[in-house]
Structure 1
Amino acid sequence: MRHIAIVGSGPAGYYSAEAAQKKFGEDVCVDILDRLPVPFGLIRTGVAPDHQSIKAVSRRYEKTNTGDNVRFVGNVTVGEDVSVAELQQLYDAVILATGAPLDRALDIPGSDLPGVIGSAAFVGWYNGHPDFKDLDPPLDARSVAIIGNGNVALDVARILAKTENELVGSDIVGHALEGLKHSRVERITFLGRRGPHQIAMTPKELGELGHLERARPVVEADDFPDIGDDAMLEPGMRKSVTHLRNFQILAADAQHKPIEIAFDFFAMPVEIQGDGRVERLIVEKTELDKDLRSIATGERYELDCQMVISCIGYRTPPIEGVPYEHGRGRFPNSDGRILPGLYCVGWAKRGPSGTIGTNKPDGFGVVEMIAEDIGENSRKTGRQGLDSLLVKRGVETVTFRDWKKIEEAEISRARAGSPREKFTDIADMIAARKA
């Protein structure tokens, strides 16, 4: 019997567990550890609440838990309740699938002012992550600046701009829905260092902005290169740029919509100013060099705003005893191998890039590596040894069966039209599994 521990129950973790099942059959015992009492990581607390079709991938992960050889072990913090070194003593292989849940720092003056929020925090707030339930973003802001030109920036803007009616059917948590109902936001501005041809927003998500009930996207015609240059773009990018061009053309027909979502291209934030809270953003214009890198022009202007949401990327948290690349915010690895017996997958391996599905080849690849490394015979105690250790330390673990009870309670709490009302407090999650 081979014993594998996976740290993190998001997509990368579950794809790795699925790969282990398919590779080793019944000759493997997999424990998926998570610090929260609930599984699925990014699917639960990262994917936008109005994108329920994407969240449905969790049904695939549930199937992985139907066999006795894969187990969810929730409410266990690796690095505190049990160390990576101890896991390595207990298991033949330890896979770090911790994702990248921390915001990349916005390293400009004024970034510590009240009203400056990282996207991990803001997304966690409206998705019900226990770490961010008390965030209290300043929704009295008339103008919001969103730094970044990727899909997370789109999610943030869309949630800010949607009406309560448009959020029916989503699983946005109650405290966020209530706060957004009283929002005073009138203008949302995306800031990106480069231009429309370098945008990182994908076509489907970008196209949604053109169908919002009370918000209209605005793009300046002067920001576009010659339309003939669009032909040189790859198809997905070309579709995104077509959306942007259509926004620019159709803006006049949407003047009746009260919220403006503006695209400010060739714009580099250099300083956030305000007396006790955010009041303005100092922006420097950029241009592209021959390698399409943005360079500062020296020309600056002020952008009035009362909240700044930074969507510039994420980083993996370091874990004691594990090598860490501070510059790249991930674990150093060679195709997923960190050290003998220690591996990583997903964003912990690659950094924050790729889609949910990108994690699948990571998981299957690292399991092939593990098969080569550990052979067929094991003298490790695995699950039995972990349980004994956690009992001695008084750690109250949560099983997948417990999670299903928590889920049932969340479904029973749901408002009309919503699939669930998430618990945002860990103690409430623990209590629900005992009810």
Structure 2
Amino acid sequence: MRALRVAVVGSGPAGAFCAQILAEEADHPVSVDVFERLPTPFGLVRYGVAPDHQKIKSIVASFAEIFETPGVRFLGNVTVGSDITVSELREHYDAVVLASGAPLDRRLGVPGEDLGGVVPAGRFVSWYSGHPDADFDTSLLSAERAVVVGVGNVALDVARMLVRTPDELRRTDVPEHVIEALAGHAVREVCIVGRRGPEAAKFTGKELLELAEVEGADVIVPAEELALAEAAQQAGAGAPSRPAVTRMLGSLRKIADRQPQGRSRAIRFLFNRTPVEFVGDTSVTGIALAHTADPTQVEVLETGLVLPAIGYRSVPLGGAPFDEATGTVPHRDSRVLDGDRTVPGLYVVGWAKRGPSGVIGTNRLCASETATAVLADAAAAAAAPERDTDTDTDTDSTAIDDLLRSRGVPVVNWSRWLAIEAAEVRLGQASGRDRAKFHHRADMLVAAGIDR
């Protein structure tokens, strides 16, 4: 039996884990090509994990080992859908696994959402994380108040980055111009708005306590709303999730009981408020919030910067089915569906499969399910006497390279990525930091030795 050839579209945690499992745990040879539209690997580990969470980001070393596994190749700077299509990948590989993630922010669907100054939190996160396709109008940082809509970990990340001191920011790997913009901004208050009470917040206690430890801001929790949530919890409301909710309310209580230190900036939680309108003509000047208990009671917070952080959704990948209602790729047991029929040789993993939920470890279990499906189908096909597995697809290992070369696609392979990484380390050391990211694709390609 010849080596099974698999293409994985996306080099984030789900795609990387899937490649590793396929290459290491199959009982016959498997070669995996991992396609990534950016010149850099690791997906949200590089561009989504908060820059000040260096312990979490240290998992990059483990992911690097995956791409150094025999039989696994990294093909960066290749956009599936334009440089090469899903259909073409299916012609060249026995199996194609979609691991394209969920790159778009969900919308609130509130009037005025398209006003200037209303910026999806994901775009802001990508910008301060150095994503080459991210842009952010730094003039918006002249607002004295920023409003973050949402009470998940991303909302806390955004708030924390807005109040970090320059010294704290320089302990991270964010690009220098981002540090300069954040260090010089005018924001003095960050309001975190939750549509329900504190008992329904989605952030973790660890993230919350980390927020409370920032050096440059007081964190203020509404004592009255917190007391109501605590009373309801003690009365048995929400019993199925009571332990986790109790721990989270306990963390909020620790913050609420602290005396403000008179710091130059503040982070203020506002619960039980629903955004109903963004106010302004061409740019936002305020956000109207209706109180949950009495929707006729509406308050307007003046602000020039609103960052909705209410989750992510996937985008259609040309040539692959997509469910607009769920924002995911339809599947059955990881096998992509077109209507009620399975698409032969096409699979899905990660957020594109299950939606934007879970942590990095969740993706390993998800990847194991997908890899199992790929290997089971390959074994079944090999055992079928009517199928000649040596001639079904063009599986020559150089065919895909020749195709991309003929189209002038400057592929960043693993050695070229290592050159980018080394250049980022040198750039950081020049300014007394361990590392500083390149923000522009052109700079990455130059560092990779591609003059383009």
TM-score (norm 2): 0.90
Does the CA-based 8 Å contact 2:119-2:306 persist in structure 1? yes
Residue 349, structure 1, aligned to residue 383, structure 2: no
- Quick one: distance in 2 between partners of 1:319 and 1:158? 33
In structure 2, do the counterparts of structure 1 residues 134 and 185 end up closer, same or farther at CA, with 3 Å as the change threshold? closer
Kindly indicate whether residue 228 of structure 2 is the aligned counterpart of residue 214 of structure 1. no
Taking the TM superposition and a 5 Å limit, the aligned residue runs for 1:258-407 are 258-287=264-293, 297-338=295-336, 339-375=343-379, 376=382, 377-379=389-391, 380-382=393-395, 383-407=397-421
In structure 2, what is the equivalent of residue 420 of structure 1? 435
Residue in 1 that maps onto 2:257? 249
SS in 2 for 1:396: coil
Following TM superposition, where does structure 1 have runs of at least 4 consecutive aligned residues deviating by more than 6 angstroms? none
Contact 2:199 2:229 in 1 (8 A): no
Aligned amino acid, residue 344 of structure 2: P
Q: Does 1:55 align with 2:68?
A: no
8 Å Cα contact 1:230/1:241 also seen in 2: no
Shift of 1:385: 2.3
Partners of 2:101 and 2:427 lie apart in 1 by 29
Tell me what 1:136 maps to. Answer: 138
CA contact (8 A) 1:96 1:344 kept: yes
Which residue number in structure 2 is paired with residue 290 of structure 1? none
Deviation at 1:136, TM superposition (A): 2.7
- Letter in structure 2 aligned against 1:332: P
Q: Does structure 2 retain, via aligned residues, the 8 Å contact 1:50–1:172? A: no
Contact 1:8/1:32 (<8 A) preserved: yes
* RMSD between aligned residues: 1.7
SS at match of 1:309: strand
Gap change, CA 1:341 and 1:147, over 3 Å in 2: same
Is the Cα–Cα contact under 8 Å of residues 217 and 266 in structure 2 kept in the other structure? yes
Q: CA deviation at 1:126?
A: 0.3
> Closer, same or farther in 2 for the Cα pair 1:226/1:350, shift >3 Å?
closer
Separation in 2, partners of 1:229, 1:266:
15
Residue 301 of structure 1 deviates from its aligned partner by: 1.2
1:20 alignment counterpart: 22
SS at match of 1:6: strand
Post-superposition Cα deviations, 1:393-422, rounded to whole Å, max 9, x if no partner, equal 121111011100110001000054533211
Q: Once the two structures are superposed, what CA deviation does each residue of 1:215-238 show, in whole Å capped at 9, x if it has no partner?
A: 111111221335354464443332
Structure 1 residue runs of 5 or longer lacking an equivalent are: 288-295
User: Residues 267 and 228 (structure 1 numbering): CA distance in 2 closer, same or farther, change over 3 Å?
Assistant: closer
Letter in 2 for 1:11: P
Q: Which amino acid aligns with 1:143?
A: R
The offset of 1:162, in angstroms, is 0.9
Q: Is 221-230 or 175-184 further displaced after alignment?
A: 221-230
CA change 1:195–1:30 in 2 (3 A) is same
- For structure 2, the residue ranges without an aligned partner over 5 or more in a row are 337-342, 383-388
Give the distance between the partners of 1:195 and 1:134, measured in 2 at CA: 31
**Do the aligned partners of 1:202 and 1:237 also contact (CA within 8 Å) in 2?**
no
The separation in 2 between residues aligned to 1:306 and 1:110, in whole angstroms, is: 13
Deviation at 1:26, TM superposition (A): 6.2
Distance 1:197 1:178, change over 3 A: same
In 1, the alpha carbon distance for the partners of 2:185 and 2:47 equals 22
Q: Does 1:42 align with 2:38?
A: no
Which residue matches 1:239?
247
Greater alpha carbon shift after TM alignment, 332-341 vs 112-121? 332-341
For 1:78 and 1:406, locate their aligned partners in 2 and report how far apart those are by CA, in whole Å.
Answer: 22
- Secondary structure of 1:160's counterpart equals helix
SS at match of 2:333: coil
Distance 1:328 1:121, change over 3 A: same
From 77, 82, 85, the equivalent of 1:83 is 85
Deviating more after overlay: 32-41 vs 232-241: 232-241
Structure 1 counterpart of 2:446:
431
Work out whether residues 96 and 343 of structure 1, in 8 Å CA contact, stay in contact via their aligned partners in 2. Answer: yes
Specify the SS of the correspondent of 1:125: helix
Deviations 1:137-191 (A, max 9, x none): 5111101110100000000000001111222321122121100111111111111
Query: 2 CA distance for matches of 1:308 and 1:68?
Result: 46
Using the TM superposition, name which of 64-73 and 395-404 deviates more: 64-73
> Once the 2 structures are TM-superposed, how far is the Cα of residue 105 of structure 1 from its aligned partner?
2.1
Tell me whether 418-427 or 341-350 shows the greater mean CA deviation: 418-427
C-alpha spacing 1:95/1:389, structure 2 compared with 1 (3 Å): same
SS at match of 1:80: coil
1:248 and 1:216 mapped to 2: Cα distance?
Answer: 11
C-alpha contact 1:92 1:378 (8 A) present in aligned 2: no
Range 314-323 or range 399-408, more displaced: 314-323
Measured after TM superposition, the shift of residue 200 of structure 1 is 0.2
Contact 2:123 2:136 survives alignment (8 Å):
no
Distance (Å, rounded) in 2 between the aligned partners of 1:134 and 1:300: 30
Tell me the CA shift for residue 255 of structure 1. 3.8
Greater shift, 414-423 or 319-328, is seen at: 414-423
Partner of 1:291: none
Residue type matched to 2:330 in 1?
P
Q: 2 CA distance for matches of 1:378 and 1:326?
A: 37
Q: Distance in 1 between matches of 2:147 and 2:95?
A: 44
Q: Quick check: 157-166 or 102-111, which moved more?
A: 102-111
1:98: which partner in 2? 100
Residue of structure 1 equivalent to 2:230: 227
Q: Give distance in 2, aligned partners of 1:213 and 1:88.
A: 52
Change (3 A) 1:248 1:144: same
Query: Percent identity of the aligned residues?
Result: 40
**Do the aligned partners of 1:161 and 1:215 also contact (CA within 8 Å) in 2?**
yes
Deviations 1:244-302 (Å, cap 9, x if unpaired)? 1122111xx22411212111111110111124321110111114xxxxxxxx7332111
Residues 65-102 of structure 1 deviation map (CA, whole Å, 9 limit, x = unaligned) = 22330000011100001110111111111111111111
Number of equivalenced pairs: 425
